[in-house]
Chain A
Amino acid sequence: MKIDRRDVLSLAGGAAAGLAVSPLPWRLLGDTAIWSQNWHWMPRVPRGAIEEREARCTLCPSACPVKLRMTNGIVHGVAPNGGALCPAGFAAHHLAWHPLRLRECRRKDQAVPLEEALSSLRAAVAQRRGAVAVLDLAPGRASSLLHRRHMAALGGAYLMPPRIEGGTAHAVEALLEKRRALAADLASVKAVLSVSTPLLDGWAAPSSAVERGFRLIQAEPHRSRTAGLADEWLPVKPGSETALLLAVGHCWLKRPEMAQQLERLKGAEAWRQAAEAMPPQRAAELAGIEAARIEAAAADLLGHRPSLVLADGDPVGGPLSREARAAAAALNILLGAEGFRPVPPLPLPKDWTLAEAQSLEEAGDGSIGVLIIDEPWPGVSVPWQLVEKKLARGAVVAAVTWNRAQFARHAEWLIPAPVWLEAPLDAAQPHDAPRAQIAVAPAVMARPKDTISAAEATARLAGVEMTAADEFAALAQAAGSEAAQIGDNGFYWSSEAKGAAPAAARIAPEQWTAETWLRAAAPSAASPAVVAFGWRQAAVSPMLGKLWQESELREGPQQAVLHPDLLRRQGMEEGVLARLMSPRGAWPVRVRAAETRPDVIAVCGGPSLALACEVRPDGAWTLGEAKVVKS
């Protein structure tokens, strides 16, 4: 039989027609639909019973109580446990899988075994005995006490970063005799003047931002979240804060009861002269707002007592100038917003000796040969310029950190640390705690291989026998003698432990003249001035991008806020990518139009932006001669 083309075609056509009535196409349809529901690249959710466990979120000093929901030993949910939680708290368990997590021990770009890194560091310490220091980015923990113990053994120094939150409180201590402190009790005040302090956004415990019983006046160049929620927003020029605070004092000078309060101030006469030379009209010119608003603010603070003045600064933008902090402190003293501060002794084991807690600024320039940076959680950073100055020539820098992006440019050694839940929960001392408190609890999740906590690392350098397994025991010991009674989920607050309060950095009002105050009152000359700000918790989880990337609820890292007019003048459009150029680096930023002063560009950043800030002689941080340009 001869098969021709026509037969082949007929066969093909018949087969196709036959297939259509067979179950095959229907089966194929069904299978493809089922396949579309089960793509192999879709993540499978874990299976297993859900357990609940109580703990604390120790990612900031607030140490909020939380309920953890876990399956198969892995936490998948965090909920408040009778209190409030900030947005970051709900995604705090994500830190363990953060895309920026440091997962291997590195020497610069090269992976090295952890043991090799530790022995190299040990050798470096041996070589430069006495010139070793630990920079604790989360001071006030039990781990901090361990660091101090290990540094004492090594003859090294224990350093803390410049404290931003609590800056006003420390200035009050500097302006008065010791043991007097700011009574920053937000639950009972009736009015607050806050200067660039994120009072309602990550400052102190989240619960403090919720129920606000006080009138809030926020002085800040851009409309931050706190400024937006405040009763009054004073859009002052950056750098004019001291002028504003002196002018408020000027309004009060005439009142007779102030004279008596003023006498208690160190360097009172210089302050009085400066305040007299700064009438609201002059301050208004410097700050770029109406004089009447300054007078009204001064009247509000007197009319709604107890009242408070805070000039702590922003966690990323840094502290305000020394003079601004002192000026705020002076106003608090005039308002009588201070109280007695007990400094009880620390009930540490008798055989423990501790290195003195020092502020980083106090360390001698070029004095550090080996620096260990302890960065246990995201959100705290220091301008590298400040650290660099303290390093000796050829100093060895090691960062024990969760993060591979931040110190990677500066540290020689990057050592992966366990994060929250993987390491023992170790809460830090809140700056406004009425008494010292130390709280620890055992780890909740398994610690990844090849991670080492900073306390363990400094122990190894100091030759103290400590393994990951007995780290908690050491922490508990540090937390107090009764710590042995801490249960699996329990916490212990020792009533009488000494807090790690740094000496107020270089505020010496008794040496100041009126000229010192007034010199600091001039605003930044740059126009538009670029200022940095940020939200401490932003780096906890990529999920938080929901708040600024997938919605417009708040500003997030790498976003710049410009007044619509300025945006137009700069030839940019809302949402475009621009470039922030500063002397210490360039970053891509997405621009947003929002309410700010038209002569200010506010750049929201993370800790890396703080790392790149410069430190002015007066202690304030700046981005230097920064510009935001079209890219």
Chain B
Amino acid sequence: MRKLGAENKTARYAMLIDLDRCNGCGACMVACAVENNVPPPQPSATPRTGLNWLRVFRLNTGGRDAFIPVMCMQCGDETPCQSVCPQKAVEFDPATGIVGQIPERCLGCRYCMAACPYQARVFNWWDPQWPAGMEQALNPRVSARQRGTVEKCNFCHGRWQAALEKAAQDGESGPVRYTPACAEACPAQAIRFGDLNDEEFAAECRDSGAFRLLESLGTGPKVFYRTSRAEVREATRGFGEVKRG
């Protein structure tokens, strides 16, 4: 397989989420689960044990409801989860900037989950189960994960790979363009997916109105948020987060 960016340049995939547009419908969560073969909830699953690669939180703003979709931030600096995994089941791909999780190698020690400040990682507390027959409707591009392993958002790795294969067939080179399921699903087009090496997109992410969650931890997240509502910005700052330095 052709390695992306081997001859040209690499990509740094990122998301820019407009919180003003998000109405918390949850389409992204469902689309994500269906795309990535995440099983439906077990009868006794709760928000604390649930399998969500992407979770939309309700923000407490005191006024009109606001929501924030949170997925793996694909931290680029000192990726907190990658350095703690004892057996290299977490890999940072410099060609895409995506933090990958290798379920076949995962021991299930959950140290990476403790390390992640974004609660973006989830554990398979149960054997994955679908209602009888529904396994026929699994996405062929993504394999199901075993019980006892950790999983998380990988910016729809299956779609990236498909885009890569298509590009190779078409004889194209350079980073591929593709759309993860959540960005495709959002009815309000609140989620935009792009490449930070693309000047135009990067400029929007650098915009003064854009911010990242827990920036002060210095983990270099690549999911950017934007809002014009002061109370929403405040609710995402919370917990005494102050400027670093």
Q: Give the B-binding residues of A (Cβ under 8 A).
A: 36-37, 39, 41-48, 50, 69, 71, 74-80, 84-91, 93-94, 96-99, 200-201, 206-207, 209-211, 225, 228-231, 541-547, 549-554, 575
Chain A residue with the shortest CB-CB distance to B190: A210
Contact of A210 among B23, B143, B144 (CB under 8 A): B23
Would you call A85 and B27 a contact (CB within 8 A)? yes
Contact of B130 among A43, A78, A545 (CB under 8 A): A43
Question: Do A546 and B139 form a contact, CB below 8 Å, given A86-B27, A98-B131?
Answer: no
Chain A positions within 8 Å of B184 at CB level: 79-80
**B56 at the A/B interface (Cβ < 8 Å)?**
yes
Contact of B41 among A71, A200, A206, A550 (CB under 8 A): A550
**B97 at the A/B interface (Cβ < 8 Å)?**
no
Would you call B51 and A550 a contact (CB within 8 A)? yes
Would you call A93 and B137 a contact (CB within 8 A)? yes
Chain A positions within 8 Å of B100 at CB level: none
Would you call B40 and A543 a contact (CB within 8 A)? yes
Known: A85-B27, A207-B187. 16 other contacts (CB 8 A): A42-B127, A50-B140, A50-B141, A77-B139, A86-B25, A90-B31, A91-B34, A93-B137, A99-B132, A229-B64, A541-B30, A542-B131, A546-B50, A549-B45, A550-B45, A551-B56
Would you call B51 and A90 a contact (CB within 8 A)? no
Question: Do A76 and B139 form a contact, CB below 8 Å, given A45-B37, A85-B185, A550-B52?
Answer: yes
Would you call A46 and B30 a contact (CB within 8 A)? no
Shortest Cβ distance from residue A75 to the other chain B in the assembled complex, whole angstroms: 7
Contact bitstring B49-63, A, C-beta under 8 A = 1, else 0: 111100111100000
Shortest Cβ distance from residue B219 to the other chain A in the assembled complex, whole angstroms: 23
Question: CB within 8 Å of A: which of B106-128?
Answer: 127-128
Would you call A46 and B140 a contact (CB within 8 A)? yes
Interface SS of B by simple majority: loop
Q: Give the A-binding residues of B (Cβ under 8 A).
A: 21, 23-27, 29-31, 33-35, 37, 40-41, 45-47, 49-52, 55-58, 64-65, 67, 104, 127-128, 130-144, 146, 184-185, 187-188
Q: How far is the CA of A41 from the CA of B135 in the complex (A)?
A: 11
Contact of A206 among B29, B131, B133, B187 (CB under 8 A): B187
Would you call B187 and A80 a contact (CB within 8 A)? yes
Contact of A86 among B40, B128, B130, B187 (CB under 8 A): B187
Q: How far is the CA of A50 from the CA of B35 in the complex (A)?
A: 13
Shortest Cβ distance from residue A64 to the other chain B in the assembled complex, whole angstroms: 9
Please list the 3 inter-chain residue pairs (A to B) with the smallest Cβ-Cβ separation, ordered nearest first. Answer: A550-B50, A84-B187, A228-B65
Question: Do A553 and B138 form a contact, CB below 8 Å, given A80-B187, A98-B131, A545-B41?
Answer: no
Question: Do A76 and B56 form a contact, CB below 8 Å, given A91-B30, A97-B130, A206-B187?
Answer: no
Contact of A549 among B46, B55, B131, B141 (CB under 8 A): B46
Chain A positions within 8 Å of B136 at CB level: 46, 74, 76, 97
Would you call B140 and A553 a contact (CB within 8 A)? no
Q: List 14 A-B contacts (CB under 8 A).
A: A41-B127, A45-B37, A45-B142, A85-B27, A97-B137, A209-B187, A545-B41, A546-B41, A546-B50, A549-B50, A551-B47, A551-B55, A551-B56, A575-B46
